[in-house]
Amino acid sequence: MRRRGLGGVCGRGALVVLVVLLGAAAGCPPARVGVPPRDAEDALLRISDNLSGLGAPLICKGLVSFRFRDESGNMRRFIAHPTTIVFHTPQSLYFDIKDAIGGSVARIGSNNERYWIWIDVPDSRRLMWGEWSRVAELPPERIPLPPGDLLDALCLRPPGAGVLSSPFVLRRGESDEWDQRLVQLRMDAVGRPVALREVRLDPEPPYQPIRILDRGPDGKIVMDAEVGQYRRVGDGGPFIPRRYVVTWPVRDAELRLDVGDAVLRPEMPDVFEFPRQFSGRVDALDDPPLPPLSPDESAP
């Protein structure tokens, strides 16, 4: 919806009414009516109020595609796999990716203490896990999909839950199109404000996030999440996106997700337990990687 100068203040209101009436007479649906957020506090409150509707576990079915580079630099691709996602606030996640005959080829999970990713394909069986309390210490190259980034990209927690604690400000774009963004700032080494996270808001009610940009200390984009097609869960439930495209440029990773069915279930699914048994390679990500052997140590 474009915001253009229309002359005087009184004339603007009359013209808007006239445009709506003409559109209705021509058979066109009138624009959705709503009041955009007035400031950052109002915008964040609307997002939190919507997420408060996730009081019961959320269960979604859909199709997912993702790619990433493994520790050897080889590109791994999973295209249009059926998926089941279960989420319970604040950070319990079960993201199961199936193959064509119904077995799991990958699973991303977390509970309040740990997060994990396991992959089970013919030439790679690997489980990676870590503690939430130490996730800030994790070097970017240790894990293909950062667990906190995934929760944020799926819009399952407030925008400021998983990044450096600093206030958001509400900025408006410089174009003539409706453009409001929540921007989280931090100070760089010389005291200049740098955008840490930028959350673009939908120009339509319910004014939820439609794009999240995260930048590293050098200003480069480390995550770009575009979401959309918000619909309610059931009758009167919270709005959630049904379309996600998330890229991690520095990791050469991408996730695309289309959500179909989405329901809230009052019973707690038994899917948030850490996988204590896994018949493959297991990497505790919080442990420092072993240094390479010197020629003397590697000699028989």
Q: Is the pLDDT of residue 202 over 60?
A: yes
Reported as a single tens digit per residue, the pLDDT across 246-257 is 999 988 899 999
Q: Is the pLDDT of residue 169 over 60?
A: yes
Q: Does the pLDDT of residue 19 top 70, yes or no? A: no
What are the DSSP calls for 131-150, one per residue? EGGGGGG--GGG-SS-HHHH
- Chain segment 64-88, per-residue pLDDT in tens: 999 988 777 888 888 999 999 999 9
Indicate the pTM of the whole model.
0.79
Highest mean pLDDT among 23-37, 189-203, 253-267, 270-284: 253-267
Per-residue pLDDT at 109 exceeds 90:
yes
Lowest mean pLDDT among 32-36, 155-159, 162-166: 162-166
Q: For 83-94, how does the pLDDT look when each residue is reduced to its tens digit (9 = 90+)?
A: 999 999 999 999
At residue 73, the pLDDT reads: 80
- Interior CA angle at 160 toward 206 and 90, to 5°? 85
Confidence check: pLDDT of 47 > 50 = yes
pLDDT band at 23 (very low <50, low <70, confident <90, very high): very low
SS3 per-residue string spanning the chain:
CECCCCCCHHHHHHHHHHHHHHHHHCCCCCCCCCCCCCCHHHHHHHHHHHHCCCCCCEEEEEEEEEEEECCCCCEEEEEEEEEEEEEECCCEEEEEEECCCCCEEEEEEECCCEEEEEEEECCEEEEEEEEHHHHHHCCHHHCCCCHHHHHHHCCCCCCCCCCCCCCEEEEECCCCECCEEEEEEEECCCCCEEEEEEEEECCCCCCCEEEEEEECCCCCEEEEEEEECCEECCCCCCEECCEEEEEEHHHCEEEEEEEEEEEECCCCCCCCCCCCCCCCEEEECCCCCCCCCCHHHHCC
- Of the pLDDT bands very low, low, confident and very high (cuts 50, 70, 90), residue 208 is very high
Mean pLDDT of 41-65: 95
Which pLDDT band holds residue 1 (cuts at 50, 70, 90)?
very low
Q: What is the mean pLDDT of the chain?
A: 81
pLDDT at 29: 40
What value does the mean pLDDT take over residues 33-37? Answer: 76
**pLDDT digit string (tens) for 235-285?**
889 999 999 999 999 888 999 999 999 999 988 889 999 998 888 889 999
